[in-house]
Amino acid sequence: MLFTRLETQVPLDDLKKDVQTLTDANWIPHVNQRDYCGSWDVLPLRSLAEHKDAHPILQGFAIQCGEDWVDLPILERLPSLKGLLNRLQCPIKSARLMRLHGGSEIKPHRDHGLSLAFGEARLHIPIESNERLEFWINDQQVPMQEGEMWYLNVDQTHHVINRGSQSRINLVIDCVANDWLLQKIQGHLQEA
């Protein structure tokens, strides 16, 4: 399975209001600079406990190892985002906002081990997007729209092109694929 839309309620207007409060937030450029052109930045919301007070680069990108994940203080300013995360009935590892600026591109790459086959799931919720944003996995376009929650198998080759002038902001959640989440992913939905 490459991708699937989950049938779940997403409070889009409230999430947009949360994001609008982040004008002073410490967004950091994505560390894998070879994987994109243009501007792609990240705002970590959860991290490994050992990095809770560390530099935002460690909070946002030390996501592969460890079992003890915690909310970062900025999440207290974002009640709708925090509420959405709290409603997920699976163990959440990292959570972050990822912003791909207009005219930017994430080059084809893989996030090894991030798929159901490895007991993990990456969920994407577009909060701000535009009609000229394209997200591709294995040459199949994912028809994500604002306010939808999607499971994406990012262990497969994927890339994103933002041909629009508006930034795309997605809430990206890495979590354990427990029975509840597997049922949400496999039980319903549109799949490619």
Q: What's the pLDDT score for residue 143?
A: 97
In angstroms, rounded to a whole number, what is the distance separating the alpha carbons of residues 188 and 191?
Answer: 9
CATH code of the region 3-22+29-187: 2.60.120.330
Neighbours of 6 (CB within 10 A): 19
Q: Which of 86, 79, 157, 93 has its CA nearest to residue 122?
A: 93
Q: What's the pLDDT score for residue 147?
A: 98
Q: Which of 145, 174, 142 has its CA nearest to residue 159?
A: 142
Token pair 């996030």: residue:
111
> Parallel, antiparallel, or unpaired: how do β-strands 28-29 and 40-48 relate?
antiparallel
Neighbours of 152 (CB within 10 A): 23
Give average pLDDT by consecutive 10-residue segment, the chain, 192 residues.
94 98 90 88 88 63 71 96 97 95 96 93 97 97 98 97 97 96 77 40
Q: What's the pLDDT score for residue 192?
A: 38
Give whole-number Cα distances, 30 to 9, 13, 97, 192, in Å.
Answer: 29, 26, 11, 28
For the chain, the domains span 3-22+29-187
Q: What's the token pair of residue 49?
A: 């406990």
